[in-house]
Structure 1
Amino acid sequence: MDVEDAATLSYEAFCARYMARNRPVLLRNVTDKWFPGAAQWKDGQRINFQHLKAKYGAAEAPVASGDVAEYGAEERCTLRLDEYLELIENGTVGKRYLKDWHFVHAFGHDVYETPPFFKDDWLNWWWDHKEKSESDYRFVYLGPAGSWTPLHHDVFRSYSWSVNVCGRKEWIFYHPDDEPKLKDRFGRFVLPDVTAEDVDREKYPHFHEAKPIYVIQETGDAIFVPSGWYHQVRNLEDTISINHNWFNGYNVRELWEFFKREYAAVEHELEDLKEMGLVGREFVDQCQLVMLANTGINYVEFRELLYAKASYLLAQRELPESDRPTAQERDLLAHLGYVSSSLLA
């Protein structure tokens, strides 16, 4: 995997080398400039338990059990942050992992600024602007050494980025082309733990053909995860990271294709409803409701998002002083083209 210095990498180079080509990259030296408030979250090379308990201790956060080797299948509970931190301090936390804590939604943007490479974020832009929004796709993860996340690709096949505020992680990546090799012989479920010593070759007959990419992420590093790349992550030390899911014009078609597959799967599952008289508009509406419940978004909302973003981009356009469009104008026109092609697909 490529390694770049965030202090010298331009946004244009990041777009051309990584977003446009859907390639992962490790960025060094991210936290000093864009995460000043998070500096208090660590004490030297360790988590600053005292500060976190004093500042956020009463906040409630989701905690995964960590004892089920299947992505999304682990049992979850809600704990106060100070209670969870005490479990780490006294050594009784096991592999329980604080995940998907909507920190920005609860406490605002004072702790960090999204690095410029990741700011063109249509997903969280939508959640920030929609009426009665009660969520977002910005998270804090906090876990002890040994806590982990099973193999998966990100929600909606979106991009993600992850910054280590404190601690170290091991990442194992697989190119999207390896997806069939990671699945069982029926082509349904991916192998949850690619580090397992006893992988069932009869159940996962092509796993050995997949080509892993191993990366160690240190404190202060950011990882860019492109669309559709499978990854498994393990904390090598007590670790805090800040993570966003996001998309923009570079991968909007990838999301649209994913949503079309999700809708087709829902439509197939509900086919029996047609025999019960649910047809036409009523059947479509029911499919949309189920898709929203299963996926977190449906055709209706995704199209609303794209139309809203198109209107916003059009409002940002400025007439060029000459016949030759500026770089910003070309970028805006390209993004409008991405939106239009998705809406017409």
Structure 2
Amino acid sequence: MSSRAGPLEGRSVPKLAPSECTYAHFRANHLVPNTPCLFPRALVERWPLFSLWLHVDGTLDWNYLASRYGALDIDAVDLGSPADESSPRLFGDLLALWRRGAGRAKYLKDWHLPLAVWREGEQEGRGKGKERVRDELYDVPGVCLDDWMNEWEGSDAARGDDFRFVYAGGGDTFTPLHRDVYSSYSISTQIYGSKRWYLFPPSCTPFLRPLIAEAERQDTAVNCDEWSEAVKAEFRARGLTVVEQHEGETIFIPSGWHHSVHNLSHPTFSLNHNWLNSHILATVYQALADEAARCRDAIDDVREMLVEQAQREGGGEAWWRREWEQAVDELIERSEGWSWPTFWRMTLSTLRNLNVPFSVLQDRAASSRWPPIPSEARPPVAFVVAQVRPLVLDFRKRSQEEWRWLAGLDEVLSGVERELERLTAAT
């Protein structure tokens, strides 16, 4: 199947037919092998935002966007002149720039518009936020409902984050080469305009790291559009795929795939999710373990000071280890946005929602930002158990014994173990 990539762009990303927009097909052909794909407009054609944000002829409804969201605060960056202090602080001001053809270097990234709409709805009454998002923006596609991150974050209104964003950029903007947070998946639906994606399978990562490190040293970013044809050919031979994404299409970026995204029209709008589930839990676990090791090395001097202090004051290992593990955990949290306690609480939350009646899930999700996930939108329970159990065993055996020293983590891990026993007995 063609992704409309040109002859110089190497392999193509499969573009699914409407009949293939099912969880079963997606899981077998893309989640399990961890390969990208393009979904057709059929996946999202009923989303309200298409009729609200666009006119019948496909042009932007500037007036609607300005009246509905113009007063919302934003944090747009200017990729053309970083010292520019005139970047708009309201979405309406950014729209005004784009409407008159200006602001081509302005980029609004990671805008939590669904969360803002949800909060507005909640002000009308508990549970109204989810209705507002559904009626005004979109429904989460069934193929990515099995999202452990958003299910966990959305289960508690007190947590003020989620992993779904609007990206809106001028015609000269791009997202530099990167790999998604937590080694998660991402899915991006193009609402208006078009984009070019450079996709690199994990086998390319060793060859990309030096380029990214050098760009960081130069305080710049890797722009794949600027590569010579020789460099592009070298990476095409290693598996690089380049694909153009058009309005209504949804692209799936697998776990661990580096990518760079370039806006081809002025402006562009897309709705993005980062997400993860049991298929990549081991990869996410290893990424967190690697970050934990890096953080330990970075502040090893703190451990030495704590040991010396404990010796002076007559404290034992329990005293300094608890302080040390907490310091490491806080550094991981700052660098990654989560750490071991969050990972295991997320896992426990998901396991508790497996093998229970859907009516129970509906009750539990009544005040959540995330819809209940039916069993047909998840892999078999036995598969999930088989992914989680080895990680629990490995975590219990870690020499750092974080489960022993971090407050409440042993209780959470014991809960995970009980849920695994429950699910095993039921399958």
- How high is the TM-score relative to the length of structure 1? 0.87
Q: How many percent of aligned residue pairs carry the same amino acid?
A: 26
- For the pair 1:94 / 2:104, whether they are aligned, the reply is yes
Q: Which runs of 5+ in 2 are unaligned?
A: 1-12, 119-132, 308-319, 360-374, 395-427
After TM superposition, give the deviation of residue 144 of structure 1 in Å: 2.0
- For the pair 1:196 / 2:226, whether they are aligned, the reply is yes
Question: Could you say which residue in structure 1 is the equivalent of 2:353?
Answer: 312
After TM superposition, give the deviation of residue 228 of structure 1 in Å: 0.6
Choose 1 or 2 for highest CA Rg: 2
Q: 2 CA distance for matches of 1:181 and 1:76?
A: 38
Question: Could you say which residue in structure 1 is the equivalent of 2:255?
Answer: 227
- Deviation digits for residues 59-87 of structure 1 (CA, Å, limit 9, x no counterpart): 11221222489xxxx99977211001011
Question: Could you say which residue in structure 1 is the equivalent of 2:155?
Answer: 129
One-letter amino acid matched to 2:182:
F
One-letter amino acid matched to 1:49:
W
Q: Which runs of 5+ in 1 are unaligned?
A: 319-325
- Deviation digits for residues 33-84 of structure 1 (CA, Å, limit 9, x no counterpart): 3413332212323322111001111111221222489xxxx99977211001
Matched residue count: 331
Q: Cα 1:197–1:338, aligned 2, differ >3 Å: closer, same or farther? A: closer
Question: Could you say which residue in structure 2 is the equivalent of 1:36?
Answer: 48
Question: Could you say which residue in structure 2 is the equivalent of 1:263?
Answer: 292
Return the structure number with greater helix share. Answer: 2
Give yes or no for contact 2:88–2:94 (8 Å, CA) kept in 1. no
Q: 2 CA distance for matches of 1:118 and 1:166?
A: 21
Q: Cα 1:149–1:186, aligned 2, differ >3 Å: closer, same or farther? A: closer
Q: Cα 1:152–1:14, aligned 2, differ >3 Å: closer, same or farther? A: same
Q: 2 CA distance for matches of 1:58 and 1:334?
A: 46
- C-alpha root-mean-square deviation of aligned residues, in Å? 3.0
Q: Cα 1:186–1:247, aligned 2, differ >3 Å: closer, same or farther? A: closer
Q: Cα 1:67–1:208, aligned 2, differ >3 Å: closer, same or farther? A: farther
Question: Could you say which residue in structure 1 is the equivalent of 2:23?
Answer: 11
SS of 1:341's partner is helix
Question: Could you say which residue in structure 2 is the equivalent of 1:46?
Answer: 59
Q: What does residue range 141-156 of structure 1 map to in structure 2 within 5 Å?
A: 141-156=167-182
- For the pair 1:79 / 2:89, whether they are aligned, the reply is yes
Question: Could you say which residue in structure 2 is the equivalent of 1:248?
Answer: 277
Give yes or no for contact 1:65–1:76 (8 Å, CA) kept in 2. no
Q: 1 CA distance for matches of 2:379 and 2:116?
A: 36
Q: What does residue range 48-67 of structure 1 map to in structure 2 within 5 Å?
A: 48-67=61-80
1:218 to 246, 251, 255: 246
One-letter amino acid matched to 1:15:
R
Q: 2 CA distance for matches of 1:6 and 1:98?
A: 31
After TM superposition, give the deviation of residue 131 of structure 1 in Å: 5.5
Q: Which runs of 4+ in 1 moved over 6 A?
A: 74-78, 185-191, 198-201, 206-209, 326-330
Return the structure number with greater strand share. Answer: 1
After TM superposition, give the deviation of residue 156 of structure 1 in Å: 0.7
